[in-house]
Amino acid sequence: MKTRSRLEKVLNAGLFAVTAECGPPKGSNLSVLEKKAGFLKGRVDAVNVTDNQTAIVRMSSLAACSILKGLGHEPVLQMVTRDRNRIALQSDLFGAYALGISNVLCLTGDHHSFGNQKQALGVFDLDSIQLVRTVKDMRDEGRIIGGDEIDDPPKMFIGAAANPFADPVGFRVARLAKKIEAGADFIQTQCVFNLHRFDEFMRQAREAGLTEKVKILAGITPLKNAGMARYMATQVAGMDVPEELIKRISGVPEGNQAAEGIKIAAETISRVREIKGVAGIHLMAIEWEEKVPEILEQAGLASRPQV
């Protein structure tokens, strides 16, 4: 074990891991977090806390992680390089570890032109892969960028993202390899809707020997209705929602579309579980955390193992 992360324990034990995403509130309202935490309690191995997702200002990921930790959750601190330079990122990593946080997901982040602060200066001092390496050097060498020694280095279980559906498709596995080489211990993928393409990505990853080196968690997002399916297909960067899926959810009456979306999510989970090299799932129920228990029950993942 490299860290005291519970997620690392679950994955190292070869158990099928379940993580879920939790978006912090657009303000300081603690009760929103408490409510979401309640839906996820006992259902997941770790909770990812998004970092100003889609460049919309929300409660800081670090603060929300600490609050969730206090509520008995195992947080995964999402960190984007869009808003903070290397001084701030490294400082937050020290703070996060001191607060008992042992997992970090290193991301570049959605461009600020998507959010509600379009006039902001995009920082991008580091990219996501450089952040992965930075966190690894902190843990394994006890040093920050530039070589200064750390007094009690943060020991983080290091995550990175992969998008099997983005272009240039031919470079996606090479980029995954680069993230692993930089120090990623686990990978959480973009939402899987196109199972065919995901299967192909995993095949290439296995062939390159990458599934031996890293734990891959397949991203799952339940569709609330046909409108959301179409929106994800056309308006969200890096998303691949096949036409047949849009047809399927459009084909049921409006009142039943949510149930159909949950059914699709549960089916997708069962399908990705059969793919060799998939070590778990990462459930991103966007502002729909209350449905996580139902989705997991339908997928046969009702409870989590004790480790």
Partner 1 sequence: MIVAERKPIEEIKRMLEGYPSVLVVGCDSCVAECAAGGHRETQLLAAALQLAFGKEGKSPVITEACIDRQCVDDFIESIASLVPEHAAILSLGCGAGVQALARVYSDKPVFPALDTLFIGETEMRGIWQENCLGCGQCKLGYFGAVCPVTRCSKRLMNGPCGGSKDGRCEVNPDIRCGWQMIIDRLEALGELARLSEYIPPVDWSTSHSGGPRRVVREDQLP
Judged by CB under 8 A, which stretch of 22-30, 106-114, 195-203, 254-262 contacts partner 1? 106-114
Q: Which of 171, 209, 305, 307 binds partner 1 (CB under 8 A)?
A: 171
Q: Which of 46, 105, 182, 218 binds partner 1 (CB under 8 A)?
A: 182
Nearest approach, Cβ of residue 167 and partner 1 (Å): 5
CB atoms within 10 A of CB 115: 18
Q: Say what angle helices 172-182 and 195-207 make with each other, to 10 degrees.
A: 50
DSSP letter string over 44-84? -SEEEE-SSGGG---S-HHHHHHHHHHTT--EEEEEESSS-
> How far apart are alpha carbons 171 and 178 in whole angstroms?
11
Residues contacting partner 1: total by CB under 8 A: 35
Q: Which residues are registered as beta bridge partners of 159? A: 105, 186
Q: What are the residues whose beta carbons fall under 8 Å from the beta carbon of 232, sequence distance 6 or more?
A: 191, 193, 221, 223, 239, 241
**Smaller CB separation from partner 1, 96 or 126:** 126
Q: Which of 99, 177, 233, 286 binds partner 1 (CB under 8 A)?
A: 177
Contact 139, 3 (CB under 8 A): yes
Question: Is residue 273 part of the contact set for partner 1 (CB under 8 A)?
Answer: no
Question: Is residue 163 part of the contact set for partner 1 (CB under 8 A)?
Answer: yes
**Contact letters (x/-) for partner 1, 27-66, by CB under 8 A?**
----------------------------------------
Nearest approach, Cβ of residue 55 and partner 1 (Å): 11
